[in-house]
Structure 1
Amino acid sequence: MIKKYAALIALLPLAGCYDSAPTVREICQNTPSMCSDLNDDNWCNSERRQLIFSRYGVSQNKTPENQYYLMQDLQEYSKCIELASTIEHKKLKQKQSNRIEAYINSQKNIKALANETRSSEHPLWLYWHWSNQGNDEALQKLLAMEGSKRLQTPELQLALATYYTKQDSEKTFKLLYNALRLYKEGDRINPEIPSTLVSMYLKEGEAEKAYVWSQVAWQLGQENLDKSSMKNIVTASEDEYDNWDEQAEDIVNQIKEGRFKGRYSSS
């Protein structure tokens, strides 16, 4: 599945300019149903916050794209709150019960959105129903669109790359780099793209590139690819690490500003 960890502000232009976008508190006060089925303690704060913004985005503009991001955020929240629900609160049992209820609600919401979009012909949903529910018919419809303008978006280039990962490494690399080139300034960025590059470069034995892209992914929100974890995999001098960190920071700035021009080279 394509994961989503991105700037929370990315959905807010749907409601108007950035300055007029409501806060989480305002959304919950004005539309309690967007928040009432979620946990009310401090667990999964970032996932809960992102989910609320996604719900608000869909309420303002119910496009297949916004629904797709809502599904991603529902799944991330559900995964987080499932773990939190197993942690016993010794003093306040109702806190644990609230998290369990929130998890059950999240699963119901995922199922409802999956049912609602089952017949969608939008390529994002074709990808989701293949990758999450094994719908081969959806996959064939998606692959039939390959090369068309409809798939020239970062998420859909990543979708194709996910399919080709085990069959065509060079094509996978090219799709991932193209995905990053397609971002425009202010876009919602999916760190699964650089994290997939990390896996691909490790498989190719390209330790330096794997480290650089791990730091790109980490800076974009992929928490399991921080410096300490990667130093256990890629051994280098401190000067090399510093140099690679600078490269990663430059790449992140280029992607965020919509000016990334990098291309895959097998040399």
Structure 2
Amino acid sequence: MRSVLPIICSMIFLTGCEQSVSISTMCEADPQICVDIHDDNWCRKERKSLLLHNYNVKQTNQDIDKYKELIAFEEYIGCMSLASQIEHIKLKEKKTNRVNSLLNAEKRFTQLAENTKQSNNAHLLYFHWSRFLDKDAMAKFTAKEGSAELETAELQQFLASYYIKRDPDKTLGILFHSLELTPAGAELNHEVFESIANIFNDKDEYKQTYIWLKVLQLHKPDDQHLSENLINLFIEKHGLNIAFLDTVAEATLTNIQEGRFKAPQY
């Protein structure tokens, strides 16, 4: 029987039970990656994530793990692109090492992307369309619409990104379905709330727009683009009585967070 991992993990391990693999073990699985992408004071979180997903690919060779590694590469490259620009007055080699790590990461990313180009995995199909505008990949992805494979919140959101400029009403249904598929306690994508609010606003359905703006505000109160003044201007412009709408918004967010959301009629 598989043993239960201790609640408090050693500091040499990555956080999270799914990440309980030591850095040394990851480097043993692929020694060259730890040479190519060396340890640095910057981007350590992104490097650990990259090493973990590279290790998982070495263990499973599964397409979903390759997709996660590609995402980890993007996050590391984005972080190191900034870090590599920093000059060190006394330690010029720091910048050189960071540039080398960045270039090596970009090379590995390109190679992995090329190696996954023919995959039929839904995540990878969407990745190749969204990053490289691969029309064949998108055609294969949309052909999976209605299949069990796409019955996850994330993949429904990917599908919605394809339809949002083509068919807003259909997009709305897909986004609602993604929320229906969201399990309790899952990390929520605030862009779903933004998209729903924007679609309702374009349809001149201002009560629904306000409800989803409020859901977004409740979920992400520090969003600088959604200030209290902006909300108040929207209320005044459309003459909304918000007491009931606020109650609906609060209940909606709670249902989503608890995995009990049901798509409304629209």
2:191 corresponds in structure 1 to 195
Change (3 A) 1:168 1:250: same
Is 1:84 the counterpart of 2:83 in the alignment? yes
1-structure distance, mates of 2:252, 2:48: 27
- Equivalent in the alignment of 2:213: 210
Q: In the alignment, is the contact (CA less than 8 A) between 1:177 and 1:263 conserved in 2?
A: yes
CA distance in 2 between partners of 1:208 and 1:105 (Å) = 47
Q: Deviation of residue 16 (structure 1)?
A: 8.2
1:23 to 2, 10, 13: 13
Hey, what does 2:123 align to over in structure 1?
A: 124
Contact preservation (8 Å) 1:195, 1:214: no
- The higher radius of gyration belongs to 2
Q: Secondary structure at the match of 2:216?
A: helix
Please name the residue that 1:172 is paired with.
Answer: 171
Query: Could you say if the C-alpha distance between residues 149 and 80 of structure 1 is closer, same or farther in structure 2, counting changes exceeding 3 Å?
Result: same
Instruction: Label 1:49 to 1:30 Cα distance change in 2 as closer, same or farther (>3 A).
Output: closer
Equivalent in the alignment of 1:261: 261
| 1:157 Cα deviation from its structure 2 partner | 1.0
Query: When the two structures are superposed, what TM-score results if normalisation uses the length of structure 2?
Result: 0.72
CA distance in 1, matches of 2:121, 2:217: 31
Matched AA of 2:230: V
Larger deviation: 55-64 or 148-157? 55-64
Secondary structure at the counterpart of residue 100 of structure 1: helix
The answer on 1:250 being equivalent to 2:254 is yes
Change (3 A) 1:98 1:141: same
8 Å CA contact retained: 1:201, 1:209? yes
Q: Do the aligned partners of 2:212 and 2:249 also contact (CA within 8 Å) in 1?
A: no
1:145-160 equivalent positions in 2, closer than 5 A = 145-160=144-159
Residue 36 of structure 2: aligned partner:
37
CA distance in 1, matches of 2:46, 2:226: 24
Give the superposition deviation at 1:251.
Answer: 5.5
Match of 1:234 in 2: 230
Q: Which runs of 5+ in 2 are unaligned?
A: 15-19, 202-208, 234-242
What CA distance in whole angstroms lies between the structure 2 residues aligned with 1:48 and 1:252? 32
Gaps of 5+ in 1: 1-14, 219-224
Residue 3 of structure 1 aligns with which residue?
none
Could you tell which deviates more after superposition, 41-50 or 98-107? Answer: 41-50
After superposition, the Cα gap between the structure-2 partners of 1:45 and 1:126, relative to the gap in structure 1 and judged at 3 Å, is: same
**Distance across 2 between alignment mates of 1:126 and 1:262:** 28
Say if 1:58 and 1:66, in contact at 8 Å, map to a contact too: yes
Higher relative contact order (CA 8 A, sep 6+): 1
The Cα of 1:28 is off from its aligned counterpart by 1.7
Secondary structure, counterpart of 2:226 in structure 1: helix
Residues 47 and 80, structure 1, Cα contact 8 Å, conserved in 2: yes
CA contact 1:215–1:248 (8 Å) conserved in 2: no
Query: Judging changes above 3 Å, is the alpha-carbon distance between structure 1 residues 43 and 49 closer, same or farther for their aligned structure 2 residues?
Result: same
Query: CA 1:177–1:60 in structure 2 vs 1: closer, same or farther (change >3 Å)?
Result: farther
Letter in 2 for 1:235: I
Aligned to 2:236: none
Tell me the amino acid that sits aligned with residue 26 of structure 2. T
CA RMSD of aligned residues (A): 3.6
